[in-house]
Amino acid sequence: MKPTYEAISWQDDHLVILDQTQLPLREIYSDVNTIGQVWEAIKKLKIRGAPAIGIAAAYGIYLGVKDLESRNFTSFSVEIDRWIEYLESSRPTAVNLSWAMKRIKQTIFANKDKDLDKIKEIILDTAKTIHAEDKRTCKKIGEIGSKLVKNGAKILTHCNTGALATGAYGTAFSVILHAHDDNKEINVWVDETRPLLQGARLTAWELQKTEIPFKLITDSAAGALMNTGQVDMVIVGADRVAANGDTANKIGTYSLAVLANENDIPFYVALPLSSFDLNIESGVKIKIEERDAEEITQFGTTPITPKKTDAYNPAFDVTPHKYITGFITENGIIKPDFKKNISSLFD
Ligand code: MRU
């Protein structure tokens, strides 16, 4: 069943987003008309998930330049660079944002001899193409990944990797969705994903919408479930994968990978090729976003700690490639040797 909701859509001359900070209690669609609003929506996680951030940023560049009156290509491209830097400052870890920015920039330079109005049109078309490609890519990831799922499988997933985090279908979520559509009897364990509860709020919402059986667990229950034979596979998404396969994803992913390894449970990462960063050799060099302490010291807006409690809140962690069974991509399943097999994906 293809999800009927869309996290992001382009309508006439602006973006419409499903505000993910309000889910699951309220389904609020908001208009996004300016690049400043795109930056804010990404920063505040109204739009979130690596591929969705890239798609939104691509539209954001168009919103930034559509009314710009530059005299020539040189001053226009200076403005583009300024906007790219601005959007990249919103969230550092997901590589899809800078991947989309690079693609926009390459297209602009390939068309530098055209008049500026035409180039603006081309920017919008490129954003629409990135969006449409991501929908096709995520479908393919689901179709390929479904083959790994056995009938009766109990699958553990982390954070949110569904249509909300992508153009459509999702990544890890797409595998689950396609396995369900292929009539496999699956049960999904959804962990809460502290502190912002992408699992409890968003993945649970998406699984309910798509009528897939699931149960919510606390993050700390995962180990006990694995140790008592209640998990057959773990599938997660990724925000940035280095050339050797080290994977940055939502905080808590690393702990799940180590637990899966300890319990001989396959651990898969599902992602589009746009989430690989071959410029980074290993995970050590991946920049990890640190978010406000209040996300931990408060529950929503209610304080849950003694006054002045300090907290450290990294939003992502890096899972060393040795804990990963395979990568599920639109071009197939990548097994070790990751360094060699990832690089051959891009030949
Ligand atoms: O902080 P978030 O909610 O943007 O984190 C999202 C994740 O970590 C996802 O697992 C990842 O972006 C892959 S989404 C297909």
Q: Is 134 in the pocket of ligand 1 (CB under 6 A)?
A: no
pLDDT for the residue 1: 77
The yes-or-no answer on residue 239 being catalytic is yes
| Dihedral angle over CA of 184, 189, 192, 193, nearest 10 | -80
In a shared domain, residues 183 and 78: no
pLDDT for the residue 70: 83
Nearest CA to ligand 1 atom 6: 49
C-alpha distances in angstroms, 83 versus 51, 65, 89, 166? 19, 9, 10, 22
CATH of the domain at 203: 3.40.50.10470
- Give how many domains the chain has, as a whole number: 2
pLDDT for the residue 119: 97
Asked if residue 1 is part of any domain, the answer here is: no
Atom of ligand 1 nearest to the CA of 271: 15
Q: Note whether 230 and 203 are within 8 A (CB).
A: no
Nearest CA to ligand 1 atom 15: 161
Residue keyed to tokens 């208009």: 31
In a shared domain, residues 240 and 127: no
Of 138, 161, 181, the residue at which a domain comes to its end is 138
Q: Is 315 in the pocket of ligand 1 (CB under 6 A)?
A: yes
In a shared domain, residues 152 and 17: no
What is the rounded distance in angstroms from the CA atom of residue 250 to the CA atom of residue 315?
A: 6
Of 95, 123, 138, the residue at which a domain comes to its end is 138
Closest CA to 189 of 154, 142, 146: 154
pLDDT for the residue 347: 86
Q: Is 20 in the pocket of ligand 1 (CB under 6 A)?
A: no
Q: Note whether 330 and 273 are within 8 A (CB).
A: yes
In a shared domain, residues 79 and 97: yes
In a shared domain, residues 130 and 177: no
CB atoms within 10 A of CB 251: 22
Q: Note whether 26 and 66 are within 8 A (CB).
A: no
What is the rounded distance in angstroms from the CA atom of residue 178 to the CA atom of residue 143?
A: 6
Distance (angstroms) between ligand 1 centre and the Cα of 126 equals 23
pLDDT for the residue 116: 96
Q: What is the domain range of residue 102?
A: 8-138
Nearest CA to ligand 1 atom 10: 237
Q: Note whether 218 and 191 are within 8 A (CB).
A: yes
In a shared domain, residues 146 and 134: no
Atom of ligand 1 nearest to the CA of 159: 10
User: Among residues 219, 239, 246, 277, which one is catalytic?
Assistant: 239
CATH of the domain at 41: 1.20.120.420
Per-residue tens of pLDDT for the chain, all 347 residues: 788 899 999 999 999 999 999 999 999 999 999 999 999 999 999 999 999 999 999 999 999 999 999 889 999 999 999 999 999 999 999 999 999 999 999 999 999 999 999 999 999 999 999 999 999 999 999 999 999 999 999 999 999 999 999 999 999 999 999 999 999 999 999 999 999 999 999 999 999 999 999 999 999 999 999 999 999 999 999 999 999 999 999 999 999 999 999 999 999 999 999 999 999 999 999 999 999 999 999 998 999 999 999 999 999 999 999 999 999 999 999 999 999 999 999 98
Q: Note whether 236 and 270 are within 8 A (CB).
A: yes
Structure tokens at 172: 């890890």
Asked if residue 2 is part of any domain, the answer here is: no
Query: Best of 190, 249, 254 to mutate for ligand 1, by most ligand atoms within 8 A of CB?
Result: 249
Q: Three-state SS string across the chain, please?
A: CCCCCCCEEEECCEEEEECCCCCCCCCCEEEECCHHHHHHHHHCCCCCCHHHHHHHHHHHHHHHHCCCCCCCHHHHHHHHHHHHHHHHCCCCCCHHHHHHHHHHHHHHHHCCCCCHHHHHHHHHHHHHHHHHHHHHHHHHHHHHHHCCCCCCCEEEECCCCCHHHCCCCCCHHHHHHHHHHCCCCCEEEEECCCCCCHHHHHHHHHHHHCCCCEEEECHHHHHHHHHCCCCCEEEECCCEEECCCCEEEECCHHHHHHHHHHCCCCEEEECCHHHEECCCCCHHHCCCCECCCHHHHEECCEECCCCCCCCCCECEEEECHHHCCEEEECCEEECCCHHHHHHHHCC
Asked if residue 337 is part of any domain, the answer here is: yes
In a shared domain, residues 134 and 149: no
Q: Is 93 in the pocket of ligand 1 (CB under 6 A)?
A: no
In a shared domain, residues 43 and 156: no
In a shared domain, residues 190 and 245: yes
In a shared domain, residues 38 and 76: yes
Q: Is 239 in the pocket of ligand 1 (CB under 6 A)?
A: yes
Looking at residue 17, its amino acid is I
Q: Note whether 239 and 248 are within 8 A (CB).
A: yes
Q: Is 51 in the pocket of ligand 1 (CB under 6 A)?
A: yes
In a shared domain, residues 318 and 178: yes
Structure tokens at 221: 């229950």
Of 110, 138, 166, the residue at which a domain comes to its end is 138
Q: Is 146 in the pocket of ligand 1 (CB under 6 A)?
A: no
Structure tokens at 59: 């539209």
In a shared domain, residues 120 and 150: no
Distance (angstroms) between ligand 1 centre and the Cα of 158 equals 9
